[in-house]
Structure 1
Amino acid sequence: MQAASDTDQTCGMSIAIDVVGGKWKMHLMWVLAEGPVRFGQIRRKLDGVSEKVLAENLRQLEASGIAHREMYAEVPPRVEYSLTPLGRSLNDALAPLEVWGDENRDALAPRSGVAAC
């Protein structure tokens, strides 16, 4: 009999939090859900994120199989980002969290210090 791997012992919630954890990843997924988008467009939609942090988060989402990076052989080069099917399914799973936040905005916003979307 084969020994269970560490992955087999990790709960689904831990895996999901590892993928979307951090200040910007869920916001980034929200932008990517709109369809293929370029780096500069993402940066303009996510006010307050630095280029370094945005690039790092995009690389992490790409490594997790959530985001896809498409490079076009053009001059100047064009790169677009989008959600993969796995990313779209994760985005769908997160939709109820957004609904919950909307429903409880008045009770939570004064305490959370979170800026408006």
Structure 2
Amino acid sequence: MNTTDIHNERIAKMTFASVYPLYIAKVEKKGRTKEELDQVITWLTGFNSQQLKDLIEKKATFETFFQAASINPNASLITGVICGYRVEEIENPLTQQVRYLDKLVDELAKGRKMDKILRSS
């Protein structure tokens, strides 16, 4: 799926620090924990808790955040629709990575089992 340049630029310039509290609120409202959220983020990005904290304190943009990440090789197994886009069809790599994260947060909030979220065999 083709997203617009304006859409991709807006996502790239958003800070992870501005979205992270929204992710926490979303999962906690559904009975999940910040620790589970951090586990999901770590699986996708390779960041440990200190690296996440540093990126939040530095107000890293999603562009900077994902440039520093080591994307899990199984991330391509993340499929489905998020924000009206089918994640596996998004052509812009950064936008796709952000939507992967959004999809994982949604799955966590919906009560999916952690081994399914983390694409374990």
TM-score by length of 2: 0.29
Compare relative contact order (CA 8 Å, sep 6+) and give the higher one, 1 or 2: 2
TM-score by length of 1: 0.30
